[in-house]
Amino acid sequence: MITADDLIALVRAYNPKTNAERITAAYEFGREMHEGQTRHSGEPYFTHPVAVAALLTEQRLDDATIITALLHDTIEDTKASFPEVARRFGDEVAMLVDGVTKLTNLQLSSNETKQAENFRKLFMAMSKDLRVILVKLADRLHNMRTIKAMRPEKQAQKARETMDIYAPLAGRMGMQWMREELEDLSFRVLNPEGRQSIIRRFIVLQKESGDVIHRITGDMRAELTKAGIEAEVFGRAKKPYSIWRKMQEKDQGFSRLSDIYGFRIITGSEEDCYRTLGAIHRRWRAVPGRFKDYISQPKSNGYRSIHTTVSGRDGKRVEVQIRTAQMHDVAETGVAAHWSYRDGVRSGNPFAVDPAKWIASLNEQFEGEDDHDEFLEAVKLEMYSDQVFCFTPKGDVVKLPRGATPIDFAFAIHTRIGFAVVGAKVDGLRVPLWTRLKNGQSVEVITAEGQTPQASWLEIATTGKAKTAIRRALREVDRERFIKLGRELVRAAFENVGRKATDKALDTAAKHLRLDGRDQLLARLGSAEITAHDVVQAVYPELAPDKGDQISPRRAVVGLQPGQSFDRAPCCQPLPGERIVGITYRGKGVVVHAIDCALLGEYEDQPDRWIDLHWHAGTHPPIYGTSLDLTIGNDAGVLGRICTLIGEKKANISNLKFVDRKPDFYRLMIDVELRDVEQLHSLMLTLEADSDVAALERHRDEARPRAAVG
């Protein structure tokens, strides 16, 4: 285990002004609190916090973060308390330790809803102080390095969580080296055979072609010397998981994979970066479409570098990254570079991103998304995607994830522009809104007054910001429509029992049904999540129809075998009183069809599946859904009157959908719940007698699947 003096020496290497006494005190306090505790491997538990602190010294972090690492498990796993840590080491350290403790307790690999809630808490903790997640990432890295001591099932759970959440998060923060190591350590657990096969292929490749990295590095140094450029050149083989992922994405075997080597050139100035690029391209052929200039267009986490891929020796492709030393610092530590110390002071790296601004930009993309699952989707979209850079007609740069469309571009400029978009031009040519944008394209958004987001846009949009704004707008439109429809339905239902649907009555019903006010009640009613009968019963239970000796739905059909279940066919929706026949399905019981259902013709050659059935005689409850195809005049009050007529016939409207809207007529599909076919005929006669009903028929969907439906 690293001693306190060794740890202080690591900190002093980049921060000679470190407070050695505070670090020593934290070291001794942490060791005392963890006394007697052991890890799964049998080692003293305190070896873990010390190793985490040592990892953070590699990023040249401040004393508060190093002390937090030493104490990060004390509040959770020992008798130490928040007030005691605050008294000994100050409020800043206590808050950081408390933040890491809360992150440790989040189950980010649990079920989707819980995971989404915890993701939100993760981002809240990050927004308070990003150093919390830096300690947590170092904590996870050390745990993954020592994961072999855990039970196999625990290893798999931790590895999946690391692969899905912590590795992409490290990458999003610009800590690419950590992302690669976390991915590879997880890969070792989740697919050891796959990882070993990659390593074996590497060994064979080295035997066949020798030390490719050494040769290419030497060639690059020679070219740079010839051009008079001073620079350092490093080469490496890519991590096994990185190669495995490329094989999966490109659906290629190892032998056909070309760019498995990466080279990095560190220059003295930005000017030398571009001179180096020229020298490399003069010597080797550049691969089309594999050039990215992140110096002129840096990533949001501060990353700057030139990326190019060239054909090296024997036609093998190699990736080359070119950057300055300061850019390299940010590339290694990402957003953490903001806290980096050098010679006792903040390093003052001009490329380091202010973490507060970075978090604010990240949170901006998710604000207003109330639905946990949609929040989770938005976060994952932003965390796991690469970027493309497009231009406005004025030359401003818009950063988008790979696969983004003009809709994403419009919302990135302003939500108001996104709502009004009707078309787009890319490089001067009109394109569909679903076009995938590419690096360097110029995009012009075409807008129109009165345009509103369409539901289909959710399938086209890629960014979390666009999807969130579209969903919010659609919910508002739907909510207003459902409230209006719900008001008509509840008015008719209350009039049917001789009462008025007053605001007080609706507020009472909302409270009884545990809903947030009358508007939510009406919206739920209009969207068929609750029925008008539920609302009436909540206020006037004494007026609810007496069910008397109604026939149980479970014994509504006669002719079934004991224990045999049935479902009504969704295609013909048979009602009590109609002639019926049953078709048997293996594992699904019996599906009941009306005798005149057109789809019965498909079973004519399977007589062994037919069962003679009939409805039980007596009074059935009004629960059997039937669809009516109705065309009515587009005049004020017509829809309300139709709903009233249906209510007067003791039928409940379970759903109402506008199929077609014309200036003078509406076509509706109304789902009503009835007792039997006699009630259906009575209802249809009443509706047909109304002068504003232009057409009415019972809707039967002969194209619907015949699978059993409850």
| CA proximity to 630, closest of 692, 704, 702, 703 | 692
Q: Answer yes or no: is pLDDT of 641 > 80.
A: yes
| Mean pLDDT to the nearest integer, 597-604 | 86
Instruction: Give the chain's domain count.
Output: 4
pLDDT averaged over every residue in the chain: 82
158 and 265 inside one domain: no
Here the CATH number for the domain that contains residue 573 is 3.30.70.260
Count Cβ atoms below 10 Å from residue 395 Cβ, excluding itself: 7
Contacts (Cβ under 8 Å, ≥6 apart) of 351: 298, 302, 304, 326, 327, 329, 330, 337
Q: Answer yes or no: is pLDDT of 343 > 90.
A: no
* CA atoms within 13 Å, Cβ hemisphere of 212: 24
* pLDDT digit string, tens, across residues 199-230: 888 777 777 666 778 888 999 999 999 999 99
172 and 316 inside one domain: no
* Under 8 Å between Cβ of 692 and 633: yes
Backbone angles phi, psi at 317, to 5 degrees: -85, 140
128 and 211 inside one domain: no
3 state DSSP class of 30: helix
Tokens of 667: 């076509």
Confidence of residue 707 (pLDDT cuts 50, 70, 90): very low
In a domain, residue 462? The reply is no
Helix (H) or strand (E) holding 614, with range, is: strand 610-615
681 and 558 inside one domain: yes
- The CA angle 532-695-480, to the nearest 5 degrees, is 40
In a domain, residue 463? The reply is no
* pLDDT digit string, tens, across residues 168-199: 888 877 788 898 899 999 999 998 888 888 88
| CA proximity to 109, closest of 148, 152, 154, 70 | 154
pTM over 0.85: no
* Under 8 Å between Cβ of 503 and 657: no
Confidence of residue 400 (pLDDT cuts 50, 70, 90): confident
Beta strand 665-674 with 652-661 is antiparallel
In a domain, residue 591? The reply is yes
> What domain range is 663 assigned to?
550-710
Q: How would DSSP label each residue in 637-685? A: THHHHHHHHHHHTT-EEEEEEEEEE-SSEEEEEEEEEES-HHHHHHHHH
Q: Answer yes or no: is pLDDT of 706 > 60.
A: no
Cα–Cα dist 360/73, whole Å: 28
In a domain, residue 393? The reply is no
524 and 582 inside one domain: no
Tokens of 370: 């109330």
Q: Answer yes or no: is pLDDT of 315 > 70.
A: no
Helix (H) or strand (E) holding 607, with range, is: none
Domain boundary among 190, 206, 223: 190
| CA proximity to 646, closest of 523, 492, 522 | 492
| Mean pLDDT to the nearest integer, 233-256 | 72
3 state DSSP class of 149: helix
Give the percent of the chain with pLDDT over 90. 27
* pLDDT digit string, tens, across residues 627-637: 999 999 888 78
* CA atoms within 13 Å, Cβ hemisphere of 199: 9
Count Cβ atoms below 10 Å from residue 319 Cβ, excluding itself: 18
* pLDDT digit string, tens, across residues 453-492: 887 888 888 887 888 888 888 877 777 878 888 888 888 8
Here the CATH number for the domain that contains residue 281 is 3.30.460.10
126 and 242 inside one domain: no
Residues forming the active site? 76-77
Domain boundary among 141, 158, 190: 190
Greater confidence, 345 or 303?
303
| Mean pLDDT to the nearest integer, 78-89 | 91
In a domain, residue 407? The reply is no
149 and 235 inside one domain: no
3 state DSSP class of 486: helix
Cα–Cα dist 672/656, whole Å: 9
In a domain, residue 202? The reply is yes
Q: Answer yes or no: is pLDDT of 708 > 50.
A: no
534 and 638 inside one domain: no
CA-to-CA separations, 306 to 229, 265, 298, 349, in angstroms, rounded: 16, 10, 10, 18
- The CA angle 539-543-549, to the nearest 5 degrees, is 130
In a domain, residue 466? The reply is no
| Mean pLDDT to the nearest integer, 237-259 | 67
673 and 624 inside one domain: yes
Domain boundary among 346, 361, 379: 346
619 and 642 inside one domain: yes
Ranking 106-115, 169-178, 589-598, 696-705 by mean pLDDT, the lowest is 106-115
In a domain, residue 122? The reply is yes
Confidence of residue 132 (pLDDT cuts 50, 70, 90): confident
* pLDDT digit string, tens, across residues 436-461: 988 778 899 999 888 888 878 888 88
Contacts (Cβ under 8 Å, ≥6 apart) of 106: 118, 121, 122
95 and 120 inside one domain: yes
Q: Answer yes or no: is pLDDT of 114 > 80.
A: no
Cα–Cα dist 672/450, whole Å: 35
| CA proximity to 377, closest of 473, 465, 476 | 465
Here the CATH number for the domain that contains residue 114 is 1.10.3210.10
8 and 150 inside one domain: yes
